Amino acid sequence: MEIVLDILSWLSLGLGCALVIIGSLGLVRLPDMYTRMHAAGITDTLGTMMVMLGLAFQAGLTLVTVKLAFIVLFVLYTSPVATHALARAALRGGLKPLTVGDDNVPVTRKEKEPAE
């Protein structure tokens, strides 16, 4: 039983670390701020969840696991709000999203009609 939990913990921690590194790598590699936000999203969601899951397997069913769950819950609740506030500020600040294709909706505060 011990060994199974250890292996699960190893796998989760390894996957979490890989995801966290990939997310940060995307933060460096991707071309503009809006696409970088998606890379940061990996770090904030699945990377954090996997690392904490790996730690939880080590801790077992104790209060430590409850605290880990609370940390994940806080991060999951706060990260989309922070990301959305940042994206909105960038849009208001005049940072233009890099887009491809012809069907882009121009984003301005004045435009009210739904573009259907």
Single out the residue of 50, 57, 55 nearest to residue 2, CA to CA: 57
**Interface pick for another protein out of 1, 3, 4, 107 (rule CB under 8 A):** 107
Smallest distance, another protein to C-beta of residue 3, A: 13
Whose Cβ is closer to another protein: residue 2's or residue 103's?
Answer: 103
> Please, how many CA atoms are within 13 Å of residue 16, restricted to the half-sphere of its CB?
19
Residue 11 within binding range of another protein, rule CB under 8 A: no
Contacts of 6 (CB under 8 A, 6+ apart): 57
Residue type, 85: A
The C-alpha atoms of residue 75 and residue 89 are separated, in whole angstroms, by 21
Q: Which one of residues 1, 2, 3, 101 is an interface residue with another protein (CB under 8 A)?
A: 101
Tell me if 74 contacts another protein by CB under 8 A.
Answer: yes
Q: Which of 1, 2, 8, 24 binds another protein (CB under 8 A)?
A: 24
